């Protein structure tokens, strides 16, 4: 049989364990990921996709440099870094609330009978134990806030990289479109001039000349669209890089970014776990679980230990009694026992319970949203890749036809007007190919934005918030697997 001392120790141990373990566990939510994508690309598990440097597939040194500059200078990312650092500073000391604290104080006191006044100085030490789930709730709340700030930083970086690549593609595409429309406009102008000569020779009707003039004017008006796109894209790039005007080098026509023969080696479903919006929703679940634990703990007593050491010296005394400086020490438990509050604490606990369920549903919604965006991007990427291939075939065929017409014109077997029409058709096919190539590239950007592709924040920035394995987002309390 247990002796009295052993029985007392056992009862105290069980009671203490119960007090310390009152916080409810974080709900475990299965991630509703599909077994595979409906629009599966060429899969090769030995060649995983590069989520942290996916834009290098364009083989564009200027683009690579722009992304690096944007990550270093973008103001949205800089704000997210500062907010993350602020949250991390609070997180580091979140548990200190349940450690002993020491306060020094002074005061001037007057007797209720107004016969004497005193100068009081001393120290107060308090130690709240954080029982009934308070310490665990505080830890969850602080960790959830930190995880959310890291996810917000990742969201800003992913969005920034995608925007920089998209604007660069649109800038270079607009420059190529402007070049081709200028060629088409020159051809239409030449065609109109030739027809005016023929009109003077009464070889064509005036209506045909008017039609040629209209086509020339329309082709010149079409130049406004790419020029406007060039200006807008350059200004947007400047803003993303944290500067007030575009670099002059951007406005010099350059090669359009092209994926070439690039093939997506693999897009496993697990890549979706890197999506920062999902990590943000996961952090909200943990933070809300912490808030629920704290509201639940408020229904139970707050238990701690307090001590004071106080000295008092008489400043003024009108009573006949003599007062001399003295000190006193006190030590005892601190209890704050809730008794009656018209059900406010119970209502707060129920409300936080509903908020926790809402955050769990929001997590599942974030996963489904990610699946939808990735599936859409995969389907679009396939279709745009096919469109580019067919546009390439059409352009090559019209190029061959144009060369054949040029040869016949040189042999005086065709009219120069036939050559102009052939050239316009080839340039129009080239413009369609440029547009198809751009749409293919933009679909590629949309896919990796949906997957959360961007360089990871450096360990120096994240500090203690850095995950143990950068390739896998950290989970909380074993939950949300």
Query: In this predicted model, what pLDDT tens digit does every residue of 342-366 receive, in sequence order?
Result: 988 899 899 999 999 999 999 999 9
The pLDDT assigned to 185 comes to 92
Q: Where are the beta strands (DSSP E) in 42-199?
A: 101-110, 116-128
State the angle between helix axes of 276-297 and 134-200 in degrees (0 to 180), rounded to the nearest 10. Answer: 150
Per-residue pLDDT band at 469 (split at 50, 70, 90): very low
Give the residue with greater pLDDT, 225 vs 467: 225
Phi, psi for residue 212 in degrees, rounded to 5 = -65, -35
CA distances from 56 to 52, 61, 253, 262, 442 (A): 10, 8, 20, 11, 14
In sequence order, the 6+-apart residues with CB closer than 8 A to the CB of 443 are 377, 380, 381, 383, 384, 385
Give the mean model confidence (pLDDT) for residues 452-479. Answer: 54
Q: Which of 49-53, 129-133, 237-241, 269-273 has the lowest mean pLDDT?
A: 269-273
pLDDT exceeds cutoff 80 at 86: yes
Q: Residue 268: its pLDDT value, please?
A: 58
pLDDT band at 41 (very low <50, low <70, confident <90, very high): low
Q: Which region among 151-155, 306-310, 321-325, 471-475 has the lowest average model confidence (pLDDT)?
A: 471-475
Give the integer Cα–Cα distance in Å for 275 and 285. 16
- pTM to 2 decimals? 0.82
Residue 262 has a pLDDT of 65
Q: What angle do CA 212, 213, 215 make, to 5 degrees?
A: 65
Alpha-carbon separation of residue 92 from 82, 87, 100, 158, 458 (angstroms)? 15, 9, 16, 27, 19
Q: In whole angstroms, give the CA distance from residue 240 to residue 101.
A: 46
Q: H/E/C letters for each residue in 294-309?
A: HHHHCCCCEEEEEEEE
Lowest mean pLDDT among 47-61, 238-252, 257-271, 429-443: 257-271
- What pLDDT is attached to residue 458? 61
The 8-class DSSP code of residue 119 comes to E
> Quick one: what percent of the chain has pLDDT higher than 90?
36
Q: Which residues, including other chains, have CB under 8 Å from residue 254's CB and lie 6 or more apart?
A: 62, 172, 175
Instruction: Give the per-residue pLDDT at 43.
Output: 45
Most distant pair of Cα atoms in the chain: their distance: 135
Q: Which of 424, 432, 445 is nearest to 390 (CA)?
A: 432
Instruction: Compute the CA torsion angle 165, 279, 298, 464 (nearest 10 deg).
Output: -80
User: What are phi and psi for residue 122, nearest 5 degrees?
Assistant: 180, -175
Of residues 146 and 13, more confidence is placed in 146
> What is 4-22 written as a DSSP string?
HHHHHHHHHHHHHHHHHT-
Q: pLDDT averaged over the chain?
A: 82
Q: Tell me: pLDDT of 468 over 60.
A: no
pLDDT beyond 60 at 16? no
Which 3 state secondary structure label does DSSP give 179? helix
The domain locations on the chain are 26-104+138-301+344-465
Does residue 134 register a pLDDT over 60? yes
Percentage of residues in the chain having pLDDT higher than 70: 80
Please give the Cα distance from 149 to 414 (Å, whole number).
Answer: 69
Among 4-8, 306-310, 476-480, the least confident range: 476-480
Tell whether the model's pLDDT for residue 463 goes beyond 80.
Answer: no
> Kind and range of the H or E element at 361?
helix 344-410
How far is it, in rounded angstroms, from Cα 247 to Cα 124? 62
Average pLDDT of the segment spanning 225-240? 94
CA gap 15, 399 in Å, rounded: 87
What pLDDT score does 4 carry? Answer: 53
- Is residue 454 within 8 A of residue 158, CB to CB? The reply is yes
Range of lowest pLDDT (5-14, 171-180, 398-407): 5-14
Name the band, by pLDDT with cuts 50, 70 and 90, for residue 382.
confident
Cβ proximity of 356 and 285 under 8 Å: yes
Task: Label residue 477 by pLDDT band (50, 70, 90).
Answer: very low
CA dihedral of 398, 404, 407, 412, whole degrees rounded to 10: -100
Q: Which residue has the higher pLDDT, 1 or 254?
A: 254
Give pLDDT tens digits for 163-204. 999 999 999 999 999 999 999 999 889 888 888 888 888 888
The DSSP code sequence of 409-465 is HHTTSS-HHHHHHHHHHHHHHHHHHHHHHHHHHHHHHHHHHHTT-SPPPPHHHHGGG
Rg of the chain over Cα atoms, rounded to whole angstroms, equals 36
Q: Are the beta carbons of 303 and 334 closer than 8 angstroms?
A: yes
The whole-number average pLDDT for the span 32-56 is 64
26-104+138-301+344-465 — its CATH code? 1.20.1600.10
């Amino acid at each position: 049989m247990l002796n009295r001392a052993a029985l007392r120790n056992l009862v105290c141990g069980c009671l203490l364990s119960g007090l310390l373990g009152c916080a409810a566990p974080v709900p475990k939510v299965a991630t509703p990921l599909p077994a595979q994508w409906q629009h599966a690309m060429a899969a090769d598990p030995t060649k995983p996709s590069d989520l942290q440097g996916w834009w290098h597939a364009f083989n564009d040194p200027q683009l690579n440099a722009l992304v690096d500059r944007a990550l270093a200078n973008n103001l949205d990312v800089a704000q997210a870094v500062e907010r993350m650092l602020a949250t991390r500073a609070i997180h580091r000391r979140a548990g200190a609330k349940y450690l002993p604290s020491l306060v020094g104080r002074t005061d001037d006191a007057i007797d209720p009978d107004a016969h004497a006044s005193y100068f009081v100085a001393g120290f107060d030490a308090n130690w709240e134990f954080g029982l009934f789930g308070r310490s665990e709730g505080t830890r969850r709340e602080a960790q959830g806030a930190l995880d959310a700030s890291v996810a917000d930083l990742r969201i800003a970086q992913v969005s920034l990289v995608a925007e920089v690549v998209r604007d660069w593609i649109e800038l270079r595409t607009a420059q190529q479109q402007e070049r081709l429309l200028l060629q088409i406009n020159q051809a239409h102008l030449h065609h109109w001039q030739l027809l005016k000569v023929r009109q003077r020779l009464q070889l064509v009707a005036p209506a045909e000349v008017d039609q040629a003039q209209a086509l020339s004017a329309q082709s010149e008006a079409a130049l406004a669209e790419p020029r406007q796109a060039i200006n807008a894209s350059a200004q947007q790039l400047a803003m993303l890089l944290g500067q007030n005007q575009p670099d002059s080098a951007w406005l010099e026509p350059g090669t359009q970014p092209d994926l070439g023969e690039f093939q997506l080696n693999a897009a496993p479903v697990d890549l979706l776990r890197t999506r920062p919006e999902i990590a943000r929703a996961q952090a909200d679940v943990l933070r809300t679980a912490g808030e629920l634990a704290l509201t639940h703990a408020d229904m139970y007593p707050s238990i701690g230990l307090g001590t004071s050491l106080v000295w008092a010296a008489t400043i003024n005394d009108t009573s006949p009694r003599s007062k001399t400086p003295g000190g006193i020490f006190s030590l005892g438990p601190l209890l704050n026992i809730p008794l009656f509050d018209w059900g406010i604490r119970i209502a707060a606990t129920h409300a936080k319970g509903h908020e926790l369920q809402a955050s769990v549903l929001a997590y599942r919604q974030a996963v489904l949203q990610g699946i939808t965006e990735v599936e859409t991007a995969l389907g679009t990427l396939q279709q745009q890749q096919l469109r580019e291939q067919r546009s390439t075939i059409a352009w090559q065929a019209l190029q061959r036809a144009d060369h054949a017409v040029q040869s016949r014109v040189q042999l005086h077997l065709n009219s120069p007007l036939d050559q102009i029409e052939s050239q316009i058709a080839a340039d129009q096919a080239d413009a369609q190919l440029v547009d198809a190539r751009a749409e293919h590239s933009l679909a590629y950007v949309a896919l990796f934005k949906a997957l959360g592709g961007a360089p990871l924040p450096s360990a120096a920035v994240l500090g203690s918030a850095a995950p143990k394995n950068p390739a896998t987002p950290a989970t909380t309390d074993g939950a949300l697997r």
